Amino acid sequence: MNSALRQSFEEDGAVLVKNCLDEGQLALCREAFDWAVENHGPNATMMFEGTEQSSHVDNANPNAKERLDELVTKLPFGKIFSELWGSKHVWYFAEEVFLKAGGKSGRTSFHQDTSYLPWTGKHWGNAWISFESVPKKNSLEIVKGSHRGIQYDGPNFVDPKDPTQPLHGETAVPFLPRLPDIDAERERDPGSFEVVSWAVDPGDVVLLHPHSLHGGAHVDADFPQRHTLVLRFFGDDAFYRPLPEHSESGFPTQGILFVEEMAKLKDGDRFRSPVFKQLV
The three state secondary structure string of the chain is CCHHHHHHHHHHCEEEECCCCCHHHHHHHHHHHHHHHHCCCCCCEEECCCCCCCEEEEECCHHHHHHHHHHHCCCCHHHHHHHHHCCCCEEEEEEEEEEECCCCCCCEEEECHHHCCCEECCCEEEEEEECCCECHHHCEEEECCHHHCCCCCCECCCCCCCCCCECCCCCCECCCCCCCCHHHHHHHCCCCCCEECCCECCCCEEEECCCCCEEECCCCCCCCCEEEEEEEEEECCCEECCCCECCCCCCCCCCCCCHHHHCCCCCCCECCCCCCEECC
- Backbone φ and ψ of 262, nearest 5°: -70, -30
Q: Has residue 272 been placed in a domain?
A: no
Residue 42 exposed, middle or buried by CB count within 10 Å (0-12, 13-18, 19+): exposed
**Exposure of 39 in the CB half-sphere (CA atoms within 13 A):** 13
Neighbour-count burial for 140-174, b at 16+ CB within 10 Å, e otherwise:
bbbbbbbbeeebbbbbbbeebeebbbbbbbeebee
Neighbouring CB atoms inside 10 A of 187's CB total 10
Domain that holds residue 190: 3-266
pLDDT at 51: 53
Q: Has residue 242 been placed in a domain?
A: yes
Q: Has residue 227 been placed in a domain?
A: yes
CATH number of the domain that 241 lies in?
2.60.120.620
Q: Has residue 215 been placed in a domain?
A: yes
Q: Has residue 216 been placed in a domain?
A: yes
Share above pLDDT 70 across residues of the chain, in percent, rounded to a whole number: 97
Rounded mean pLDDT of the chain? Answer: 94
Q: Note the pLDDT tens digit of each residue in 24-67.
A: 999 999 999 999 999 999 988 765 445 555 578 899 999 999 99
pLDDT of 161 above 90: no
Mean per-residue pLDDT for 203-229? 94
Q: Has residue 273 been placed in a domain?
A: no
How many domains does the chain contain in total?
A: 1
Q: Has residue 14 been placed in a domain?
A: yes
Q: Note the pLDDT tens digit of each residue in 80-110.
A: 999 999 999 999 999 999 998 877 777 889 9
pLDDT band at 245 (very low <50, low <70, confident <90, very high): very high
Q: Has residue 280 been placed in a domain?
A: no
